[in-house]
Amino acid sequence: VRVTILPGTASAKEVLSYEPDGVFLSNGPGDPEPLTGAIETIRGILPSQPVFGICLGHQLLSLACGARTFKMKFGHRGANQPVIDLDTSKVEITSQNHGFAVDSAELPSDLEVTHQNLNDDTIEGLRHRSLPVFSVQYHPEASAGPHDSEYLFGRFFDLIQEHTAAGSR
């Protein structure tokens, strides 16, 4: 894998000029809703690229797909946050540090919840129903479990391979 790191201010045209096989949306601090430039960039990338978002990237991806976010009373902090994978019923112990979440009450029909927080039932993961796009609210790279969430990176690489093999690039 060759990784190219771009700033959060990069446009969709700039991102796509690198001809990526996939786009990873990383974590970051703060309220996602004012980041309208990043949301527009993601909208411009979605039709053509596999995308995997974590933490702030999850929130921005959700907003780009038409979801809403809200400020949590306390947020999720620390390395012992239990999250259930709704596909497998497997519980992952995750590392988290965020104060905003995706609002389940206003979820667009093209987004499907894949992971849920077992402490407060907030959305912890989503996938797009027709695009090679998914995200999680927590930090799979932090290995709180210690390897509970590693499979997500394999899932992303599989999406990239399927997308490339289908000639969608």
33 is catalytic: no
* Helices vs. strands in the chain: H and E counts, helices first: 4, 7
Cβ 17 vs Cβ 11: under 8 Å = no
DSSP state of 162: H
Q: Which one-letter amino acid corresponds to residue 18?
A: Y
Structure tokens at 28: 């970051």
Annotated catalytic residue, options 55, 76, 92, 124: 55
CA–CA dist 18, 158 (Å, integer): 20
Annotated catalytic residue, options 33, 112, 141, 150: 141
Q: Residue 54 forms beta bridges with which residues?
A: 136
141 is catalytic: yes
Annotated catalytic residue, options 58, 98, 115, 139: 139
55 is catalytic: yes
Cβ 96 vs Cβ 139: under 8 Å = yes
Which residues are known to be catalytic?
55, 139, 141
